[in-house]
Structure 1
Amino acid sequence: MAWSDWTGAIGVVSGVAVTSVFGLITVRLTHRWQRRLRSDERRQARGDLRRDAYAAFLIQTQKMIDDVSAWMDSTGSALAPPDRVAAFARDLGTCSHERDSCERRAKLVAGSEVRRAIGAYGEWFRGACAEAVREEQPGFSVWEKHENKVFDAMAVELDADMTVPEEQPSWIRRSWRRLLRRPASVPA
C-alpha cells in the first residue's frame, strides 16, 4: 500500500472517530437537557396540581363558614321553624361533603407538613362548626389564627415547588466527592 493510500485510510478513520466523539457528546448533552426539562415539567405540574387543590379546599372551607355564619345571623334565636332547619341541614350536608372531598384531594397532593396542618385545621373546623350551629362561643371567631397556619404551610410548599434548584455540573460533584472522601489509611 502506498503512502497516499495510508493517508486516505488514516483520514477516513480519524474523521469517523472525530464525528463519533462529537455525536456522543451531543447525545450526552441532549439527554441531560431533556432529563432536566422533564424534571422541571414534573415540578411545575406538581405545583399546579397543589395550587388548584389548595385553592379549592380554602374556597369550600370559606363557603361553609359563610353558610354556617349566615344561618346564625339570620335566625336570631336558637329555634327556627322546622322547614328552615331541614333545609339548613340539607345545605350544610352538601357543603360539608364538598369541603371534605376538597380536603381529601388537598391531602393527597400535599407534603407532610401541609397534610399535618390540614389535619389539625380539620379537627378545629369540625368543632367550630358544631359550636357555631349550637350558637356557642368561640365558633368561628378565631378562624384566622387556625387558617393562617394552613395557609403558611401551603405557601412554603408552593414556593418550594416553584424554586428551581441550582445544579452543579457532574464533574464538580465527582471532584468534591473525591476530595471529601476519607483515605482508607486514616482512622476515623
Structure 2
Amino acid sequence: MHLYIKNMVCNRCITAVRNELDTLGYTVHDVTLGEAEITGEPDAAQLETIAFSLKKLGFELIADRKGRIIEQVKNEIVQLVHHSGEILATNLSSFLADKLQYDYTYLSNLFSEVEDTTIEKYYIAQRIEKVKELLVYDELSLAQIAGQLGYSSPAYLSGQFKKVTGFTPTHYKSIKANKRRSIDEL
C-alpha cells in the first residue's frame, strides 16, 4: 500500500518516516519525499494510528487525491531546488507537467486554489531559501550561486532576493554572519 505524506522535505524526513513505520511494525518497501510503500492494507484504526504517530513528527497522511497532487508538486520543486543539483533545461510548467503527467493548467489552478499562492511563487520561495542557505555557508560568490540555481545573472538573483526578503544578499549575509557565534562563545 502507498501512504501519501505531507511535509516531507529532506532525507531526515525520509529516515524519520521509515523509522516510525518500522516501530509500528510495518514492512517498509520504500520511502521517498511524500510517499511510503508498506506491505499490507491497514484498516481504518491502523491508519489512524499511523496518522497519529506521523503527526507527532510533524507529518500528515494525505487522504484525498487533490492533496496528493499538490504534495507531489511541492516535492518535485523541493527535490529540484534543494537536492538534485540540476538546472531546469525547460520551463517549470513543462517540467512539472512531464513529471506528474498532468496538464500544467490543471496543476496550477489546483495549487492556487488549495495553497492560496501560485506554483511560481512557491518555486521562487524555495529558490530563495536555497540562496539563503548558500549565502550563510559563505563558500560561493553571488555569481556562482546564481549559476548554480539557474538565474540568468547575479543582478536578477539579487533583485528577486530583495523583493522576497526585503534585504540584498550582501546585507542578509552580513546579518547572519553577525548572529553566528564563535565556538568559544557557546
**Band of TM-score, shorter chain:** under 0.3
Which structure features the higher share of strand residues?
Answer: 2
Which structure features the higher share of helix residues?
Answer: 1
Q: Which has the larger radius of gyration?
A: 1
TM-score by length of 2: 0.26
